[in-house]
Amino acid sequence: MADENIERWREHFAEQPARSAAIMRELEDIVAQFERATHDRVKANEQLDSQPGKKEKVKKTDDTFASLIADLERNISERRNGKST
């Protein structure tokens, strides 16, 4: 029985480097994906910054959508509460 336990421990420790290498490859892939996504986001922001007036247009559009969403939510809430608009 003791010999079996020793053999299992040997197998376990023999497999550890392969497991560690697989985990490292996964982590490297995740980091690479994050780097690409960050690079793409920075590039998109740089392009936005390079276009005069673009930030203001985007902000205005965002504000318009936020206002529209607020109006829709208020309308839905009023209908649920039995109020007619």
Rounded Cα distance, 75 and 85, in Å: 7
Residue with the bigger pLDDT between 81 and 43: it is 43
pLDDT computed for residue 84 by the predictor: 54
Q: Provide the whole-model pTM.
A: 0.46
Chain position carrying tokens 């994906």: 33
Q: Which helix (H) or strand (E) holds 76?
A: helix 54-80
pLDDT computed for residue 83 by the predictor: 63
Q: Write the pLDDT tens digit of every residue in 20-76.
A: 888 899 999 999 999 999 999 888 888 877 777 877 888 888 899 999 999 999 888
82 — alpha (psi -120 to 50), left (phi > 0) or beta?
Answer: left
